[in-house]
Structure 1
Amino acid sequence: MTTPRGLHVALIEPEIPGNTGNIIRLCANTGAQLHLVEPLGFSLEDRLLRRAGLDYHEYTRMHVHRDFATLRAALPQGTRWVAYSAHGTGRHTDWQFADGDVLVFGPETRGLTPAQRNAADACLRIPMREGVRSLNLSNAVAIAVYEAWRQRGFDAHWCET
């Protein structure tokens, strides 16, 4: 299904259709592959998802997986898993991104479980001011994807498989 090359974004049990639609649009514009892990908090036919993603579905390689284990099995051995969490121990700019990396994000209201964070090769945090709850999921994904792409010199072919 997928190859180890390029950049992958994994949304674990996304809940808000507008966020996922914005991330579809982001992946279309950067070439990253998008992986959605069920259960989804919406239908892929949801009008809010379509509205946010507009007609970008055709430009995005999107895969739906029934659970986290199925996602992990779908990508090759040696794939590096980079979790993003408020519990992360390193900054998002500290990781050296490479072909095949999977950027993993949890549900909007719960985030990644401790087991999902511990299964990752790195658990990163996007700096924020103290006392502020969190970033919007689609904003966090955009920050992470663009940092990975920036490190690769914005090579237009890096994200393409």
Structure 2
Amino acid sequence: MAELNIVLFEPEIPANTGNIGRTCVATGTRLHLIEPLGFRLDEKSLKRAGMDYWKDLDVTTYINYEDFLERNPGARIYMATTKAKQVYTEVHYEPDCYIMFGKESAGIPEEILVENQETAVRIPMIGDIRSLNLGNSVAIVLYEALRQNNFDHMRLEGHLRNYDWK
């Protein structure tokens, strides 16, 4: 079974993290938060964005990047960054991989990226757009990883409430 992991490096905006948490619950994905955070985990805006799903979230926090690495030895980590040379669809996401995203104001530090060049991926954009919203970026890359893993353990069809599909 695919057990993907989303890693947020020093996230700053509680609503983004709340939305990402909700996406993780909907996809059976674990969320990892590397401190310092730009908010408290009990903030109202975080819970509002995650709605009533936050209680179902598999979330782990780390005091820093080194703590994350120590507690996840051998993890295959893809670095989502606007600075990468390869597109997020050009790699194969293993069922237990980690996909890291940087903080909203600065991304993943370049000293980390330089150590992980072969797993750095980007979402294509036109012009000089700085970046997409963090929640949108997570959803784009996560759903590609899920697609590559055949949406393992996910419901693939929906149902109407008051009608039947023909």
Asked if TM exceeds 0.5, the reply is yes
- Return the match for 2:113 from 114, 117, 120: 117
Q: Which residue of 1 is the match for residue 50 of structure 2?
A: 53
- Return the match for 1:135 from 123, 132, 142: 132
Per-residue CA shift, 1:83-110, capped at 9, x if unaligned? 0111011000001011221101110000
Q: Which residue of 2 is the match for residue 106 of structure 1?
A: 102
1:58, 1:119 → 2: CA distance?
35
Q: Whose helix proportion is higher, 1 or 2?
A: 2
What letter corresponds to residue 125 of structure 2 in structure 1?
A: M
Q: Which residue of 2 is the match for residue 83 of structure 1?
A: 79
Q: Which residue of 1 is the match for residue 157 of structure 2?
A: none
Q: Which residue of 2 is the match for residue 39 of structure 1?
A: 36
Q: Which residue of 2 is the match for residue 94 of structure 1?
A: 90
1:6 aligned onto 2:3: yes
Give the CA deviation at 1:118: 2.3
2:96, 2:69 → 1: CA distance?
12
Q: Which residue of 2 is the match for residue 19 of structure 1?
A: 16
Structure 2 portions without partners, runs of 5+: 155-166
What letter corresponds to residue 3 of structure 2 in structure 1?
A: G
Give 4+ residue runs of structure 1 displaced > 4 Å after superposition. Answer: none
Cα root mean square deviation, aligned: 1.2
Larger radius of gyration: 2
1:90, 1:32 → 2: CA distance?
24
Identity of aligned residues (%): 38
What letter corresponds to residue 13 of structure 1 in structure 2?
A: E
1:71 aligned onto 2:45: no
Give the CA deviation at 1:135: 0.1
Per-residue CA shift, 1:34-65, capped at 9, x if unaligned? 00000000010111101000111222100000
Does the 8 Å CA contact 2:95/2:149 hold for their aligned counterparts? no
What letter corresponds to residue 37 of structure 1 in structure 2?
A: I
- Return the match for 1:126 from 109, 112, 123: 123
TM-score of the superposition, structure 2-length normalised?
Answer: 0.88
- Return the match for 2:152 from 127, 134, 155: 155
TM-score of the superposition, structure 1-length normalised?
Answer: 0.90
**What is the number of equivalent residue pairs in this alignment?**
152
- Higher RCO (Cα < 8 Å, 6 or more apart): 1
Structure 1 portions without partners, runs of 5+: none
1:21, 1:93 → 2: CA distance?
25
1:26, 1:83 → 2: CA distance?
19
